[in-house]
């Protein structure tokens, strides 16, 4: 088929109505519109018709939609079951062909595109060959446009310039791996301070040792095998702990506990589904984990109920390196815990007060949960700043700032830098003799390609990006949360984790050397980066100021609840509690030039002042019901 997209062509994009993963479609639509092409995203009626195109009414609806919108290229996205996705696309293509709607049979549709999970993409490629262009989601923006058939001359310079930064880091990653640099990385000897590997060891003690000796960042990884047999899974995890501890590459073992461990620890799980992760269910098992993990630091998820009790137990049994709290999240709002959002906030504040007494660090496990659900970049940053300000007011002394890059996946690298710099800059302003910030970047959950060799290159590239956040600070980042390159296809075992750590460390070390030799462009000095940082800084400052003015008790559980409830933090893709947080879900967001923005119905960015005025009015004039329906504001 003819795949080149010509001036005046309209591209139609379809996804099944049962598929909620529409952010990718919005990203592609925005890219194509930036290139000057018309884009039509199918509504629910056409999406349903594409699932059952043989039905007479559905075929007629699809034909009318294609003709009325003058669609010349059709994209089909299916991110659910691979077999069902390939089958649905195959049926749609067959119906289009037999009814004369494809160009090869005299119809209007000149090009077909399919985007889906790796298995579905492979099946579509096998069955349809070059009749359809297939995407697996690991393509850069420019790669996407070129494969769709957009002429290079039609691609805006903004996309091409950001592609330069992406390509430079990916090329760096390819060189790094081709030269075998990760294979030269050796374990670090962190010993030499009295507390090392003992129950008196701590994150700050190890960071202090690293700074004194000029050592690389601490490497943290999330570890947790899943097996249907609970006891066998725990035994497997203990063997992994031993291997990782003996290997010497991993510094911080982050226990990937199961949902039941977090919500029903110590109970009889009976027939409850496990939900993945290592199913630890007793203090004795945690003790065995601690012993097997020597000399690594260890940390684990917070509970989703009995939060203070479990936090105290984690410190007593594991010497928990730091505590991650999610404030609004891991509650009824995302189905991860039994608490209402308000009760969750109150429980988390209770744990923060405990941390202020013990001196244990706190990690706000918050911003990326907003990003997962469609929030804009300003909300991503502001949510972290709110948590940090609350923690400092309550006496917490150390904050571990986790920064999930590549989230959402459509985020451009230059925008990731802007987000990270604005967020980290706001946190650094809070630092003083009583409050310390430890920067901990990581790759996004769905960033890596299912092609493992390409994923290794991506890991090197995103590690280089981490070093660009504070390139003039030799001690930044202090900790790296290493997401293993296999995440696009399979759970990482100790061998993959250790290899991923070597890639990460080699990337940061070699990237710094190349920058020192002037071989890497200083992206921070670009006008585009300066403009992005300035714009996002202004938006975040405006958000925080407006919330403080509208909600006098903002830095309390009740204040944070009201800020979310009133719609200050847009979260359009929230699945649970949508009625309770109707103001938060009422906003629309969309990828724009590699960032996430709040937009109106015509997909134009909504000025920050306008949306803040609306949220402030809601906060000031509306009654806020509690969980029993009585008014308490």
Domain residue ranges in the chain:
10-155, 536-621
C-alpha 64/C-alpha 290 separation (Å) is 64
Q: So what's the pLDDT on residue 356?
A: 98
Distance CA 105, CA 96 (A): 9
pLDDT-derived band of residue 405, with 50, 70 and 90 as boundaries?
A: very high
The residue assigned the tokens 């000399």 is 295
What pLDDT was estimated at residue 625?
55
What tokens does 316 get? 């007593």
Q: Structure pTM? A: 0.90
CA–CA dist 458, 172 (Å, integer): 10
More confident residue, 112 or 139: 112
* pLDDT per position as a tens digit, 121-177: 889 999 998 889 998 878 888 888 898 888 888 888 878 778 889 999 999 999 999
- The pLDDT of residue 23 is 55
In this structure, the strands spanning 323-325 and 297-300 are unpaired
d(CA 407, CA 27): 13
Q: Please state the rounded mean pLDDT for residues 540-569.
A: 97
Residue 511: alpha-carbon gap to chain centroid: 24
The end-to-end CA distance of the chain, in Å, is: 62
Is the per-residue pLDDT at 187 higher than 90?
yes
Tens digits of residue pLDDT in 305-325: 999 999 999 999 999 999 999
Confidence of residue 603 (pLDDT cuts 50, 70, 90): confident
Q: Which CATH superfamily is domain 10-155 in?
A: Cobalamin-binding domain (3.40.50.280)
Dist CA 109 CA 97 (whole Å): 10
Task: Name which of 3-12, 140-149, 487-496 the model is least confident about.
Answer: 3-12
**pLDDT tens digits along 503-549:** 999 999 999 999 999 988 888 888 899 999 999 999 999 999 999 99
The predicted pLDDT at position 631 comes to 40
The 10s digit of each residue's pLDDT in 425-471 is 999 999 999 999 999 999 998 899 989 999 999 999 999 999 999 99
H helices of 189-305, where?
203-213, 230-247, 259-263, 283-292
**Can you tell me the distance from the alpha carbon of 301 to that of 283, in angstroms, rounded to the nearest whole number?**
14
* Section 400-424 average pLDDT: 95
Q: Is 275 left (phi over 0), alpha (psi -120 to 50) or beta?
A: left
Model confidence band, residue 50 (pLDDT cutoffs 50, 70, 90): confident
Evaluate if residue 3 carries a pLDDT over 80. no
**Lowest mean pLDDT: which of 486-500, 516-530, 571-585?**
516-530
Consecutive H or E run containing 157: helix 157-178
Q: Say if residue 298's pLDDT is above 80.
A: yes
Q: Spell out the residues 6+ positions from residue 10 whose beta carbon is closer than 8 angstroms to its own.
A: 37, 38, 39, 40, 69, 70, 71, 72, 73
Neighbours of 151 (CB within 10 A): 13
Phi, psi dihedrals of residue 86, rounded to the nearest 5°? -65, -40
Q: Give the integer Cα–Cα distance in Å for 349 and 308.
A: 10
Residues 469 and 85: their CA atoms lie apart, in Å, by 39
What would the mean pLDDT of 180-202 be, rounded to a whole number?
Answer: 96
Share above pLDDT 70 across residues of the chain, in percent, rounded to a whole number: 96
Q: What are 404's two structure tokens?
A: 């999930």
Percentage helix, strand, coil for the chain under 3-state DSSP, each rounded to 5: 50, 15, 35
Give the pLDDT of residue 295.
97
Mean pLDDT score of the chain:
91
**Per-residue model confidence as pLDDT tens digits over 460-477:** 999 999 999 999 899 999
- Give the count of alpha carbons within 13 A of 90, CB side only: 16
Answer whether 90's CB lies under 8 Å from 128's CB: yes
Residues 6+ apart with CB under 8 A from 37: 5, 9, 10, 11, 150, 154
Q: Compute how many other C-beta atoms are within 10 angstroms of the C-beta atom of residue 601.
A: 6
Distances (CA, A) of 561 to 56, 178, 551, 564, 633: 50, 51, 10, 5, 12
Inter-axis angle of helices 452-469 and 413-428, nearest 10: 40
- The predicted structure's pLDDT at residue 629: 41
């Amino acid at each position: 088929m003819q795949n080149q997209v010509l001036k005046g062509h309209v591209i139609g994009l379809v996804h099944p109505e049962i598929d909620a993963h529409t952010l990718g479609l919005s990203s592609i639509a925005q890219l194509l519109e930036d290139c000057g092409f018309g884009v039509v995203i199918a509504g629910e009626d056409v999406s349903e018709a594409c699932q059952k195109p043989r039905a007479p009414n559905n075929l007629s609806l699809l034909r009318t939609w294609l003709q009325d919108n003058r669609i010349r290229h059709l994209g089909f996205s299916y991110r659910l079951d691979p077999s069902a996705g390939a089958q649905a696309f195959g049926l749609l293509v067959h119906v289009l062909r037999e009814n004369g709607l494809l160009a090869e049979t005299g119809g209007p549709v000149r090009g077909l595109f399919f985007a889906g999970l790796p298995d579905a993409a492979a099946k579509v490629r096998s069955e349809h060959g070059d009749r359809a262009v297939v995407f697996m989601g690991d393509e850069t923006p420019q790669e996407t446009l070129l494969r769709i058939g957009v002429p290079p001359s039609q691609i805006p310079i903004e996309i091409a310039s950001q592609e330069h930064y992406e390509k430079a880091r990916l090329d760096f990653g390819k060189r790094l791996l081709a030269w075998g640099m990760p294979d030269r990385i050796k374990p670090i000897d962190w010993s030499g301070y009295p507390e090392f590997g003992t129950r008196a060891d701590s994150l700050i003690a190890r960071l202090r040792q690293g700074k004194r000796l000029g050592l690389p960042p601490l490497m943290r990884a999330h570890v947790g095998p899943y097996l249907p047999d609970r006891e066998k899974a725990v035994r497997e995890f203990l063997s992994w702990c031993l291997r990782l501890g003996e290997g010497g590459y991993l510094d911080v073992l982050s226990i990937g506990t199961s949902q039941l461990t977090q919500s029903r620890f110590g109970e009889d799980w009976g027939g409850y589904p496990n939900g993945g992760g290592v199913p630890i269910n007793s203090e004795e098992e945690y003790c065995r984990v601690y012993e097997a993990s020597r000399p690594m630091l260890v940390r684990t998820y917070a509970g989703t109920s009995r939060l203070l009790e479990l936090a105290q137990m984690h410190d007593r049994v594991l010497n928990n390196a730091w505590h991650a709290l999610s404030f609004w999240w891991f509650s009824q709002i995302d189905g991860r815990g039994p608490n209402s959002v308000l009760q969750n906030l109150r429980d988390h504040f209770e744990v923060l007060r405990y941390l202020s007494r013990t001196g244990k660090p706190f990690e706000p496990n918050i911003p990326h949960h907003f990003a997962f659900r469609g929030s804009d970049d300003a909300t991503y940053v502001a949510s972290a700043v709110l948590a940090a300000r609350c923690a400092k007011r309550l006496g917490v002394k150390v904050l571990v700032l986790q920064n999930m890059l590549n989230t959402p996946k459509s985020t451009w690298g230059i925008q990731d830098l802007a987000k990270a710099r604005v967020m980290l800059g706001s946190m650094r302003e809070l630092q003083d003799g009583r409050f310390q910030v430890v920067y901990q970047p990581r790759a996004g959950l769905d960033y890596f390609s299912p092609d493992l060799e390409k994923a290794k290159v991506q890991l090197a590239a995103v590690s280089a990006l981490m070093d660009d956040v504070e390139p003039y600070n030799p001690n930044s980042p202090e900790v790296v949360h290493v997401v293993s390159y296999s995440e696009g296809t399979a759970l990482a075992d100790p061998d993959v984790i250790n290899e991923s750590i070597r890639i990460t460390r080699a990337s940061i070390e070699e990237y710094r050397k190349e920058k020192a030799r002037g071989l890497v462009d200083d992206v921070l000095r670009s006008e585009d980066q300066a403009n992005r940082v300035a714009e996002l800084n202004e938006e975040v400052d405006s958000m925080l100021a407006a919330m403080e003015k509208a909600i006098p008790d903002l830095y309390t559980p009740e204040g944070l609840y009201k800020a979310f409830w009133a719609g200050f933090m847009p979260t359009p893709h929230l699945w649970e509690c949508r009625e309770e947080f109707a103001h938060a879900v009422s906003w629309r967001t969309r990828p724009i030039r590699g960032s996430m923005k709040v937009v109106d119905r015509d997909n134009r960015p909504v000025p920050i002042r306008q949306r803040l005025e609306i949220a402030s009015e809601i906060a000031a004039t509306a009654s806020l019901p509690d969980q029993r329906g009585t008014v308490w504001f």
